[in-house]
A and B are shown apart, each in its own frame.
Chain A
Amino acid sequence: QQQVKQSPQSLIVQKGGISIINCAYENTAFDYFPWYQQFPGKGPALLIAIRPDVSEKKEGRFTISFNKSAKQFSLHIMDSQPGDSATYFCAARKGGSEKLVFGKGTKLTVNP
């Protein structure tokens, strides 16, 4: 079964707009929630990550919002730029586990 459900599959945003990508999980043992960014022809790279003891983490224009009771977390990209066009993956990991489980990805296109 899919452990981390990500939506939408694709997203088109105008330059300067806000991009929002959502993820939901079922396993309450997950304790680490990263977001990865992948440009075409490249491997994914860590963008930002959060642990469930905080509800929000911000790094520049990127913010993770975390809702522990709803078992949901989301990535917000403020003032989206064409250079943000990429595929974004949410992921989750259980404490003490080696395995990082990924969502299916969201292809973001930011139009100039």
Chain B
Amino acid sequence: NAGVTQTPKFQVLKTGQSMTLQCAQDMNHNSMYWYRQDPGMGLRLIYYSASEGTTDKGEVPNGYNVSRLNKREFSLRLESAAPSQTSVYFCASRGRVDTGELFFGEGSRLTVL
């Protein structure tokens, strides 16, 4: 049982390049999330999807787009990467409505030069 799988694990981009982070979960969860983690800043929500076909902005959505491709997959796209987007990105999913437990992937470390 893989849980939440993110690809790639590491990526280096130049300013202005675009890329997509992929996330897939095999737990049949409805809700999926993208967070970024920066030193001293904790985890900040970028976008989330409460169900297939819906997406909503979190705390720090600027510079990002998302796609909920199907129930399993939720991708995060950087259209024109900036050094401020250097971060570790985590995808997470949640199943039951009555609990807040998030299941996280292992993260994607992105460096923008």
Contacts and interface: CB of A to CB of B under 8 A. Distances in A.
Q: Do A and B bind each other?
A: yes
Interface of A: 6, 9, 32, 34, 36, 41-46, 49, 89, 91, 93, 98-105
A91 B100 CA distance: 10
Given A44-B43, A46-B101, A100-B45, 16 more contacts: A32-B99, A32-B100, A34-B101, A42-B106, A43-B106, A43-B107, A44-B102, A45-B104, A98-B48, A98-B50, A99-B45, A99-B58, A102-B42, A102-B44, A104-B41, A105-B40
Interface of B: 4, 31, 33, 35, 40-45, 48, 50, 56, 58, 90, 92, 94, 99-102, 104-107
B90 A100 contact: no
Judged by DSSP, the binding face of B is: strand
Contacts of A101: 45
Contact of B90 (A43, A98, A105): A43
Given A43-B90, A46-B101, A89 B42 contact: yes
Contacts of B99: 32, 49
B24 to A, nearest CB: 14
